[in-house]
Amino acid sequence: MFKEELKNFNIILASGSPRRQQFFKELGIDFEVRLKPVDEEYPNRLRHFEISDYLAQLKSLPFEDDLKSNDILITSDTIVWHNNEALGKPQTAEHAFEMIKSLSNTTHEVITSVCFTTPIFQKTVNATTKVTFKDLTDSEIRHYIDICKPFDKAGSYGIQEWIGQIGITKIEGSYFNVVGLPTHLVYETLNNLIS
């Protein structure tokens, strides 16, 4: 359905995430992947979705001089918001353990921002999902880190992986947002852009 409407546009996904790339395929979007490095730092004053919005927009900056008139560049960023701070990707196994331990028996928020950039405008949307974990044991957390090595994931976990299957008791909002892309917002925003 999407292919016909988007045939006059070149969709560029600036993400190395295999999960995000798979979502684009499943949505029926023809796209190319282009990657450019960016230092993912943000001002300390930012809170909640302001952080992911800022980072999604920041990731578009290296491309601004390269975009042609029919290009739509899509950049995104996901954070886990817990106890009034953003949890990024863990540096070590011990760091991952501490993060997951802090999420145990609590509810946190997963926020993903998606930025759509063309040569003449930019639009950023975001989604927030509340996720509740059961009281996880230390051995469950260590087992998960050993088998899944979640070092590329904000908050040190993937909802679609073992820890999500055995540990998540409640979710409010988009499941796909927690995996890494609010697919309903991508679909809706692209539809609005091309209509």
Q: Which residues are catalytic?
A: 77
What are the start-end ranges of the H helices in 7-113?
18-26, 49-58, 93-103
Q: Are 170 and 176 in contact (CB under 8 A)?
A: no
Token pair for 139: 């051995």
Q: Are 65 and 73 in contact (CB under 8 A)?
A: no
Measured in whole angstroms, the distance separating CA 4 from the mean position of its chain's CA atoms is 27
Under 8 Å CB-to-CB from 44, ≥6 apart: which residues? Answer: none
Strand-pair partners of 32: 12
